Amino acid sequence: MKHFIDINDLTYEEILDLLDLADKLKKQNKTGIKHKVLSGKTLGMIFAKSSTRTRISFEVGMYQLGGHALFLSNQDIQLGRGETVADTARVMSRYLDGIMIRTFDHQDVLDLADHGSIPIINGLTDLMHPCQALTDLMTIREHKGTLKGLKMAYLGDGNNMANSLLQAASLCGMDIAIATPADYGCETTCIEQARSNAVAQGSKVIITTDAREAVSGADVIYTDTWVSMGQEDEKAKRIKIFTDYQVNSELMSLADSKAIFMHCLPAYRGLEVTEQVLEGPQSVIFDEAENRLHAQKAVMVRLLSPDSQI
């Protein structure tokens, strides 16, 4: 694994390796076992978009592994004043051991990888959110004991989260049903990739506008905000369009009785999900949030210290 940009760049075996390592790192962290395998390593973190979970989990993860994380906003580096991504990549490659970037344009991440000489981690773009998708696989397996044969239902906006979940679930043999309004679906390329993955894994990809169809018999119910960063001007319009995709007790009742509810956060209570579901016994959102730390530590170990034995 040279970079971590897109879940679909990984094989099923590579995903399982990352999940196994994440599980081990989580268990050992809770029992006081420390690993300093990234001692002397530095991760540059470029943030064009603000964050709670991404910034804290990467900084803490690097600290726990013995390395150092350097926060870089657009106001801190020349990228925000017109320096090209290519030049930024070549300069930062002379100083750092890796770069994590959270930004709008997915092409910026690809350009960093093309022009730099160090590992690049996609912390989020408008197209993909692979760190969260890996975390979600970890959380599902933690609660369900397996991935293959499960059904995930995603409701709402066909955004970066939905695109990455399509790839992640289909690569791991999960059925995935995506329910969105007609004009708010996932990227066509991601749907095609997922369908190809599903054929190889013997699973199903269901694309629908019917939320009830998607959640029927599902083992995992997932949603995300209806208004992502940069879409604030569309808030009133989006709330009206997405009303029928709210995850509430009625929709949860159509899923498997042992289904879990997931959300990548931040959640807007009373919009995409009700308070009753978010704080209910089926919700695993804070386990999910915690697992960002452990899943990303696994990614950093594999990229920045691939020969480490943990």
Determine whether 264 is an active site residue: yes
CB atoms within 10 A of CB 83: 12
Active site residue 126: no
In a domain, 77, yes or no: yes
Which of 53, 106, 129, 141 is labelled catalytic?
A: 129
Please pick, among 132, 167, 193, 246, the residue that the annotation labels catalytic.
132
In a domain, 20, yes or no: yes
Mean pLDDT of 198-225: 98
In a domain, 105, yes or no: yes
Please give, one letter per residue, the 3-state secondary structure of 193-224. Answer: HHHHHHHHHCCCEEEECCHHHHHCCCCEEEEC
Judge if 152 and 96 occupy the same domain: no
Q: Catalytic: which of 193, 264, 282, 294? A: 264
Answer yes or no: do 93 and 166 share one domain.
Answer: no
Whether residue 275 sits in one domain with residue 140: yes
Give yes or no: 224 in active site.
Answer: yes
| Stretch 206-212: mean pLDDT | 98
Active site includes 94? no
Question: Residue 76: is its pLDDT beyond 90?
Answer: no
pLDDT band at 230; cut points 50, 70, 90: confident
Beta bridge partners of 153: 177, 221
The whole-number average pLDDT for the span 23-39 is: 96
The pLDDT score that the predictor gives to residue 69 is 98
Specify whether 141 is located in the same domain as 82.
no
Judge if 295 and 196 occupy the same domain.
no
Mean pLDDT (whole number) for 24-52: 95
Please indicate, yes or no, whether residues 109 and 251 belong to a single structural domain of this protein.
no
Q: What is the mean pLDDT of residues 241-250?
A: 98
Task: Output the 3-class SS for 228-266.
Answer: CCCCHHHHHHHHHHHHHHCECHHHHCCCCCCCEEEECCC
Looking at the fold, whether 141 and 203 belong to one and the same domain comes out as: yes
Bridge partners (DSSP) listed for residue 44: 70, 99
Question: Are 31 and 149 in the same domain?
Answer: no
Instruction: State how far the alpha carbon of 200 is from the alpha carbons of 16, 74, 152, 178, 255, in Å.
Output: 16, 41, 18, 19, 26
Average pLDDT over every residue of 138-156: 98
In a domain, 182, yes or no: yes
Catalytic residue among 102, 106, 141, 263: 102
Q: DSSP 3-state assignment of 24?
A: helix
> Is 197 among the domain residues?
yes
Candidates 238, 263, 292, 294; catalytic one? 292
Here the CATH number for the domain that contains residue 46 is: 3.40.50.1370
42 and 95 belong to one structural domain: yes
Residue with tokens 């791991």: 172
Dihedral sign for Cα 158, 161, 167, 173, please: negative
Q: Report the pLDDT averaged over residues 1-7.
A: 97
Is residue 309 situated within a structural domain? Answer: no
Structural domain including 85 reads: 7-129+289-304
Tally of domains within the chain: 2
The pLDDT mean for the chain works out to 96
In the set 175, 219, 224, 246, the catalytic residue is 224
Say what the pLDDT of residue 46 is.
Answer: 97
Q: Is the pLDDT of residue 80 over 70?
A: no
Confidence of residue 231 (pLDDT cuts 50, 70, 90): confident
pLDDT in tens, 167-195: 999 999 999 999 999 999 999 999 999 99
The residues facing 247 across adjacent strands are 273
Give the Cα separation of 180 and 159 in Å (integer).
Answer: 10
Question: For this structure, is 292 an active site residue?
Answer: yes
Note whether residue 175 is domain-resident. yes
Q: Is 90 a catalytic residue?
A: no
pLDDT 10s digits, 93-136: 999 999 999 999 999 999 999 999 999 999 999 999 999 999 99
Do 11 and 149 sit in the same domain of this protein?
no
Tell me: do 297 and 165 sit in the same domain: no
Judge if 111 and 99 occupy the same domain. yes
Token pair belonging to 21: 């390592």
Give phi and psi for 157, each to the nearest 5: -85, 135
In a domain, 2, yes or no: no
